[in-house]
Amino acid sequence: MAKSEKRASGPKGGAKPRYERVLFKVSGEALMGSQSFGIDPAMTARIAGDVKEAVQLGVGVAIVVGGGNIFRGIALAAKGADRVTGDHMGMLATVMNAKALKMALDDAGLDAVVLSAVEMPEFCETFTQRGLESHLEAGRVVVFAGGTGNPFFTTDTAAALRASEMRADALFKGTQVDGVYSADPKTDEDAQRFDTISHDDVLARGLKVMDQAAVALARNADIPIVVFSLQEPGELARILQGKGRCTTVTN
């Protein structure tokens, strides 16, 4: 059976979700909620609620979180600072966000753990493949922090990498819009929305789904990218059940 066609058992014999194991990419900016900076506890609680709905469907969930609500290393580098140092600072921002998400997941009654690509044992576990699989098999929600652990790579690329390592059936990307468009629908009223599109077409058209390295990595691992609106509460579970509104990027 193809990865994208795997099925997991739904709760109490209910409808089976489309995917058995997913990686959920949450941008740092999403954690700001209605704020202009930092972390909005109401938003982390909302995201935790969405994840809980997915877990209750029988889906294994892991999360990669960005750090743009606190710090963006590439923005500092654009002003002449050292890019490596800037990216290291951005990785630290993702650790703070991951800890905030873990708190929200714990409050929602989920068993969650933070795995960091950068060693900081006083704060969280260090990522290992064995540790990842052990936590997923135990039914825990895994929150990945620290990006890939290397400068010059975005958290989008980290999401595609971790999705590959955990053998995810799909990579869910929560955004400000309800799918992939031919142009920015907020500025171009003629922008065309796609229900499905291939990884190759996304790369050839230069569409801003994820960065090109992330899309290429997902393509090579045959992992669909499901793009949906994070502004719609409960949309993650709806899409997992074959409902909702999204674009699926697939081979």
What is the residue-averaged pLDDT of the chain?
Answer: 92
pLDDT tens digits, residue range 202-233? 999 999 899 999 999 999 999 999 999 999 99
Assigned token pair, 95: 């650790």
Shared domain check, 229 and 204: yes
Which of these three, 153, 180, 214, is where a domain ends?
Answer: 153
Fill in the amino acid letter for 182.
S
Distance CA 138, CA 118 (A): 23
Q: Are 90 and 200 found together in one domain?
A: no
Domain match, 146 and 185 both: no
Q: In CATH, what number is assigned to the domain containing residue 229?
A: 3.40.1160.10
* Any domain includes 12: no
Give Cα separations from 133 to 23, 50, 60, 140, 192 (angstroms): 13, 22, 11, 10, 39
Q: What is the pLDDT of residues 58-85, one digit of tens each?
A: 999 999 999 999 988 777 778 888 999 9
pLDDT digits (tens, 9 = 90+) for 174-188: 998 999 999 999 899
Whether 54 is covered by a domain: the verdict is yes
CA-based nearest residue to 72, from 135, 147, 11: 147
Q: Specify if 159 maps to a domain.
A: no
Q: Using the 3D structure, point to which of 111, 128, 153 is the last residue of a domain.
A: 153
| 149 in a structural domain | yes
Q: Is 6 a domain residue?
A: no
Least confident of 3-7, 115-119, 132-136: 3-7
123 and 230 assigned to the same domain: no
pLDDT in tens, 23-35: 999 999 999 988 8
Same domain, residue pair 82 and 147: yes
Please, are residues 223 and 156 in contact by the beta-carbon 8 Å criterion? Answer: no
Residues 196 and 236 reside in one and the same domain? yes
119-162 per-position pLDDT tens digit: 999 999 999 999 999 999 999 999 999 999 999 999 999 999 99
Residue 2: its pLDDT value, please? 40
User: What confidence tens digit (pLDDT) does each residue in 105-114 have?
Assistant: 999 999 999 9
As for how many domains the chain has, the answer is 2
pLDDT for 13? 46
Instruction: State the pLDDT confidence band at 14, using cuts at 50, 70 and 90.
Output: low
Question: What is the C-alpha to C-alpha distance for residues 97 and 60, in angstroms, rounded to an integer?
Answer: 21
User: First vs last Cα of the chain: how many Å apart?
Assistant: 15
Q: Are residues 149 and 181 in the same domain?
A: no
Does an H or E element contain 228, and which? strand 225-229
Tokens 């493949």 sit at which residue?
129
Is 31 in the same domain as 149? Answer: yes
Q: Which domain holds residue 98?
A: 27-153
Give residue for tokens 């800890």.
99
> In the chain, what are the helix, strand and coil shares in percent, each to the nearest 5?
40, 20, 40
Phi, psi of 68 (to 5 degrees): -65, -15
Residues 135 and 76 in one domain: yes
142 and 37 part of one domain: yes
pLDDT over threshold 70, residue 8: no
Q: Are residues 232 and 114 in the same domain?
A: no
Same structural domain, 105 and 209? no
Last residue of a domain, one of 126, 153, 180: 153
* Model pLDDT, residue 110: 98
Whether 11 maps to a domain, the answer reads: no
Asked whether residue 47 is domain-assigned, the answer is yes
Residue 175: enclosing H or E segment and its boundaries?
strand 170-175
